[in-house]
Every structure is written in C-alpha cells, then in structure tokens.
Amino acid sequence: MTTKENILNTLRLHKDEFSRYGIQNIGLFGSYIRDEQSEKSDIDLLIDF
C-alpha cells in the first residue's frame, strides 16, 4: 500500500517538471496526511497555480 512518504517523495522527485507547468505548490490532505488511509483511499492533492 502507498504511504504518505511515498507520495511526498514522488512529488519531490517531479518538482522541476511541475514548475514547468506553472504549479507553485502542491498540498497533500485527507486520510494520507492524517495517517488514516486504507487500501480504498484515494490521494487528495491541492494544486496551486
């Protein structure tokens, strides 16, 4: 199962690519940030352009 650390590492890995599309910030919220995720959880991201 995906972990919060996996998600954050993936976002960091692609940071330069995101900035080429005008993305200023990406925020993770929901069950993953609260460490309450399950196998049925989705990944909630807030994208700031």
For the annotated catalytic residues, the residue numbers are 42, 44
CB 17 within 8 A of CB 9: no
| Sequence-ordered list of residues with C-beta below 8 angstroms from that of 42, at least 6 positions apart, any chain | 30
